[in-house]
Amino acid sequence: MKTNLKSYLNKSLTTFILLYTTITFSQPFTYKIHKNNRVVSLLMSNTQFNQWTGNDEFADRVKSQLLIKDVLKNVNDDFDFITLILNTDQTPTGITYAGKLSSISNAIEGIGVRTFDNTSAYGSNGRLKSIIQLTRKNSILFGPFLHELMHNWASYGLDTVGPRRGFSDDPNDFSSFFGHWGFTGGNTPGQLGGFTQSSLISNGSNSYTVDVFGDFANGGNSVPYTQLELYLMGMIPVEEVEAFDLFQDITSYSRGTKQGTYDFKANTRITYTPDALINKLGKRNPTHLNAQKEFKILTVVITTTPLTDSEWTKFDNDIESFTRKGDDGNPSLYNFWEATRGIGSLNPILTEKSTILNVNDITLTTNNFKVYPIPANQYLTLQNIGRKTLANKLIICNAIGKKIAKLPLEKTTSQTIDVSKYTSGIYYLLFQKGTTILETQKIIIN
Ligand SMILES: [Zn+2]
């Protein structure tokens, strides 16, 4: 009997925990926007964060759709890219990558990606192209930010080959290398890997020597985009892509006899001229003349503690530097503008600034109005507790400070407003006379 009861209790405890685990994701996140309108923070509970990172929920389509939908409830849906960056020094255990991009839509022909539009599943009305997750806080400046952005366009159309598990000279350990350049040459080492074409020496008998290179990356933000990468992005015409070689059927790969080189043997060598590229991928549509050059990017910092002033400043500075349309002042790193030779740019600014309040700057002050119940389900009562107020207008902002409603304040002691149409979360009430805020209160709607 005792055993049965214990077993029953264990079972019900397990059920409870499972139930609890599934519902915590729907707990409202708290969003804040930095005063410079470039960075948003998303505050999660430790439980939510441990689930998000421990199970790599970014890679879980349903969970990432839920999260991006929630983000887009709080900002305007006018972003090409949404980047989630974890406020951690190191990549959390449970996540196996420094950065990852998930494609949401593609309308470009001739880059080896089918055209598709999956935006509605993420709460976007067609604009969102990709979402990116960076798994430690220094990856904006040092990478792999440029690398992950490149995955929006490449490399999907060429049959690249690379080692299955990092560096290896096992001839059986090479496979199709979808997404990265592998043993592909470029005018410079590519963001997605690849060797410097001009360093290639043919030793005869399918044996080659090249300068040391990375098959999937070449040093974070320390290298710019190659000609091929810029062509796929729509920045330059195909004629500007110098011929390069792509090797397949690699049979050996080792450190070269000469320092700073690799020796490899490959049975297949394909040379891509501009014409051969077009033959393989089709014509790029739109061409570089009409292709989008400026992209709107939203940066969301996922954190379990409210960002401190110095953390806000760090993320804001990093994004400003990475998206600056000019020299970032760092000779060993490239920002997006530098990496695209000043042709492409990123715009990080949240629009409709006037409707977005800097939640950081709100001081909560209760003077004349008592607001209840909190949390509110359907109705919220604003009770004037006796003193005379000049307020004649009520503004309702969501958690990120975006204005979502404006109502006249009646000259009565008590006014009831219907809040049932608002989604669960934190809201701010601004009691105003004209544009002057007289009183601010924070409420929760369930
Ligand atoms: Zn990659």
- pLDDT per residue of the chain (446 residues) written in tens, 0 to 9: 333 434 433 333 333 333 333 333 446 788 888 888 899 999 999 999 999 999 999 999 999 999 999 898 888 899 999 999 999 999 999 999 999 999 999 999 999 999 999 999 999 999 999 999 999 999 999 999 999 999 999 999 999 988 765 545 555 567 778 899 999 999 999 999 999 999 999 999 999 999 999 999 999 999 999 999 999 999 999 999 999 999 999 988 889 989 999 999 999 999 999 999 999 999 999 999 999 999 999 999 999 999 999 999 999 999 999 999 999 999 999 999 999 999 999 999 987 533 445 554 555 566 678 888 988 989 999 888 766 677 888 888 887 777 888 888 887 778 899 998 888 888 888 888 777 777 788 888 98
> Domain holding 424: CATH number?
2.60.40.3080
C-alpha 302/C-alpha 300 separation (Å) is 6
Q: Are residue 168 and residue 229 in the same domain, yes or no?
A: yes
Q: Are residue 102 and residue 173 in the same domain, yes or no?
A: no
- Match 């609890």 to its residue by tokens: 20
* pTM of the complete model: 0.77
Dihedral sign of CA atoms 361, 365, 369, 374 in order: positive
Q: Ligand 1 centroid to 101 CA: how many Å?
A: 8
Q: Ligand 1 centroid to 192 CA: how many Å?
A: 6
Does 28 map to a domain? Answer: no
Residue range of the domain that includes 397: 359-445
Q: Ligand 1 centroid to 181 CA: how many Å?
A: 10
- Tokens representing residue 364 in the block: 């909560």
Q: How many Å is the Cα radius of gyration of the chain?
A: 27
C-alpha 104/C-alpha 122 separation (Å) is 8
Does 335 map to a domain? Answer: yes
Contact (CB, 8 A) for 335 and 149: no
Contact (CB, 8 A) for 440 and 431: yes
Q: Ligand 1 centroid to 154 CA: how many Å?
A: 9
Q: Ligand 1 centroid to 216 CA: how many Å?
A: 6
Q: Ligand 1 centroid to 365 CA: how many Å?
A: 49
Q: Are residue 373 and residue 326 in the same domain, yes or no?
A: no
Q: Are residue 165 and residue 202 in the same domain, yes or no?
A: yes
- Match 């998303």 to its residue by tokens: 42
Q: Are residue 107 and residue 253 in the same domain, yes or no?
A: no
Q: Ligand 1 centroid to 86 CA: how many Å?
A: 18
Q: Are residue 340 and residue 416 in the same domain, yes or no?
A: no
Q: Ligand 1 centroid to 232 CA: how many Å?
A: 16
Region of 135 please: left (phi>0), alpha (psi -120 to 50) or beta.
alpha
C-alpha 39/C-alpha 107 separation (Å) is 27
DSSP 3-state helix, strand, coil percentages of the chain (rounded to 5)? Answer: 25, 30, 45
